[in-house]
A and B are shown apart, each in its own frame.
Chain A
Amino acid sequence: MQQFIAQTLNGLTLAGIIFLVSSGFTLVFGVMRVTNLSHGAVYLLGGYIGYSVITATHNFFYGLAAGAIAMGALGLLLERTLITWLGGSEMSELLATLGLIYVLDDISLAIWGGSPLTINLPGILGQSTTLPLSGVVYPNTRIFILGVSIVVAAGLSYLLRRTRVGAIIRAGVDDREMVSALGINVRLVFSLVFTLGAALAGFAGVLGGTVLGVYTGGDSDILLFALAVVIIGGLGSFEGAIVGSLIIGLIENYGTAYFQAVAYSILFIPVIVILLVKPEGLLGKVNR
């Protein structure tokens, strides 16, 4: 029982990291119709940058900020150059970001090498706590990650539901043409969303580096989680990203714990089921 509780918590932690990555991916897709396949590579690069900054400054939070800011800047740069140049052709954008994966991964490999790195949390966050009632001893790092993801989710939800910018973003998901016809500067919204998405990925990279590690190939792992999430939750749906992340995070973790041989593959059972039963995703609006 104790083990099951620990595994459930592990699954929730993983769900938190996956949520940070997939929410950016799904917002970018929802508003801009850009399938950014390099989203996982941005996550990984953010993790590496965070690692270096933490090593240099001995402060985890500087690393977290550096990962998010650096990747946000990269996102802004990409949106202003590559994505703009491609002029809205969905397949071209997908292919160009596919090329970008090889570039970003190769740069990461050149700078940080091929051996896996781990980010350690400082002080009390690096220790463990005995949870009340169950008596499970659980690492604070994971509790911290879970808390941060919930805070970010709440913040994003507030941004999307309660602010003017959020209203524009939601409107953009529903009807992009109408938004620009109303005289709203869609270009600015695009830049904002893409930057936000990349910053979230970089942030998640540093956060995820603590429990998952920062390693070559980590980008395609997390990209696959994010893709599974958006298929389940619905491309472009923020709430769908939350639900999808929980499903994928928990299944992945139970799978790894109890069905080692097929852990990675059973992840996709819900994906297939959703595709057959409800192809637009649980909470999806975007017409495929």
Chain B
Amino acid sequence: MTAGASRDAGRRASGTTRQGASQRASGTAHREGGQEFSGEVAVSPAGPGLPPGRGARLALTVLRGSRRFTAPVAGVAAAVLLVLLLQGNGFTSTLVLDMLVYAIAAMALDFLGGYAGLISLGQAGLLGVSAYGVAIAEVHFFSPWAAVGIGMSAVLALGLVLGIVAVRTKGVSFVIITLAMGQVLWGLAFQWVGLSEGDNGIPLAVLPAIGPFDLNDPLTLRMTVLAVFVAVALLLVTFVHAPFGLSLRGVRSNETRLAALGYRTGLHRYLAWVIAVFFTGVAGVLYIFVNQLISPATMAFSEDGLLVIMVVLGGLGSIWGPVLGAAVIVGFQQELSIYVTRWQTLMGLTLIAVVLFSPGGLWGVVRAAGRRRDALIARLEGKRGAP
């Protein structure tokens, strides 16, 4: 939350300085608007030529209010909506729960792909490792809490080792290598029947409980998943805005320069990988809590691809975008598949369209709207400042 607040403060500060140099600011905003600034025409009543009237002042107040309050209001509204949706025992709450679990995995992948520039096509495999870890530990008579510990340790240990190989590469090679790793994990789950029960998968009977906090109670479980989701989201947003997140982006865009400045770029990538693996592991534990079954199908190549699609569709490098992406894709999968037989074609075409026409994804659209609003504010401020 602190990161969000400081960003707002920063924006407000830049707003005040902008009033002085309003003309220049509005000029920049024009250029930022770029090719798709089609709102220009609709905006023009407040544009040059009209005297700064009461309408313009009202518009400015509304727009400034929107700048200040949209994010917190949307956040609170989303939280309230989620809590309400998760109350029932029906289809909707199950769907939302699935969305949240995949949103965690998608955010972790976005942290790796959007900020470190390392898009992994093996994340479903890692998600499966912690889920299998929990299930296999319980099969061998460990207590549910110990099973969670074993599942997380397994995925973390694996991540620490695999990372040594994986982060030596980047770009396309990294994608291919993580894909290969994910498939090895899938192969083990599928073929090592003695450990994994093969294609049938392993069910999970008992979930952890401590005192009155009992995850076997559906409502407690749902609220816990929501709480973990919020915690992971806030943590990742904090990481992204922390110095580590900034230097990580630096490593992505110009590794040579960062290395010359004395940053240990390889270590940055490795840490980003480990963080992403950890949170993917968290998603895996929640996955088996929610579904109470883990089978190789969860780790298949198509699932690795789905996670990447969630991130790209939502918007690479935005943390919140992939949450939207996860909601859309899981919704597609479970809801749309009932009505549209060929939903996979639709999904594939959607990804291609996003790559072709809207590389910023859904979150890019949101951001563009925000930029347009800020440009409008700058212009209105410019008008008022002028004699």
Contact = CB atoms under 8 A, between A and B. Distances in A.
Interface of A: 35, 82, 85-86, 90-92, 94-96, 98-107, 109-110, 217, 220, 223-224, 227-228, 230-231, 235, 260-265, 267-268, 271-272, 275-276, 279, 288
A94 B175 contact: yes
A99 B356 CA distance: 11
Nearest to B117: A91
Contact of B302 (A94, A110, A220): A220
B177 A99 contact: no
A94 B352 contact: no
A94 B309 CA distance: 12
Interface of B: 119, 121, 165, 168-173, 175-177, 179-181, 183-184, 186-188, 190-194, 300-302, 305, 308-309, 312, 341-342, 344-345, 347-352, 355-356, 359
B184 A265 contact: yes
Contacts, number: 130
B359 A103 contact: no
B308 A102 contact: no
A264 B309 contact: no
A173 to B, nearest CB: 15
Nearest to A227: B176
A103 B345 contact: yes
Given A106-B345, A220-B301, A262 B169 contact: no
A228 B180 contact: yes
B191 A262 contact: yes
* Interface SS, A side: helix
A82 B352 contact: yes
A99 B351 contact: yes
B351 A105 contact: no
Contacts of B172: 35, 90-91, 94
A98 B191 contact: no
Contact of A261 (B165, B193, B309): B193
Nearest to A38: B348
Contact of A102 (B176, B190, B344): B344
Contacts of A261: 191-194
Nearest to B345: A106
B114 to A, nearest CB: 12
Contacts of A275: 165, 168-169, 177
B180 A227 contact: yes
Contact of A231 (B180, B300, B351): B180
Contacts of B181: 268
A260 B191 contact: yes
Nearest to B196: A261
B350 A99 contact: yes
A271 B349 CA distance: 32
Given A86-B355, A99-B355, A261-B191, A279 B168 contact: yes
A105 B173 CA distance: 24
19 contacts: A35-B175, A82-B356, A91-B171, A95-B351, A96-B355, A98-B351, A99-B350, A103-B349, A217-B300, A224-B301, A261-B194, A263-B191, A264-B186, A264-B187, A265-B184, A265-B191, A275-B168, A288-B169, A288-B171
Contacts of B355: 86, 92, 95-96, 99
Shortest Cβ-Cβ A-B pairs, 4 listed: A264-B187, A99-B351, A102-B348, A103-B348
B356 to A, nearest CB: 6
B165 A276 contact: yes
A103 to B, nearest CB: 4
A112 to B, nearest CB: 14
B174 to A, nearest CB: 9
Contact of A106 (B193, B305, B342): B342
Contacts of B302: 101-102, 220
Contacts of B301: 220, 223-224
Nearest to B344: A106
A267 B184 CA distance: 8
A110 B343 CA distance: 11
Given A95-B308, A224-B179, A288-B173, A262 B351 contact: no
Nearest to B194: A261
Contacts of A223: 301
A231 B349 CA distance: 29
Contacts of A231: 176-177, 180
A99 B349 CA distance: 6
Contact of B309 (A92, A98, A263): A98
A272 B163 CA distance: 12
Given A106-B348, A235-B173, A261-B193, 4 more contacts: A95-B351, A265-B188, A275-B165, A279-B173
B305 A35 contact: no
A262 B305 contact: no
A220 B171 contact: no
Contacts of B190: 264
Contact of A91 (B119, B194, B344): B119
Contact of B356 (A86, A110, A262, A276): A86
Contact of B348 (A99, A262, A264, A279): A99
Contact of B345 (A35, A102, A224, A267): A102
A138 B165 CA distance: 41
A224 B192 CA distance: 19
A99 B352 contact: yes
Nearest to A288: B173
A235 B176 CA distance: 11
A86 B359 CA distance: 11
Contacts of B121: 98
Contacts of B356: 82, 85-86, 92, 96
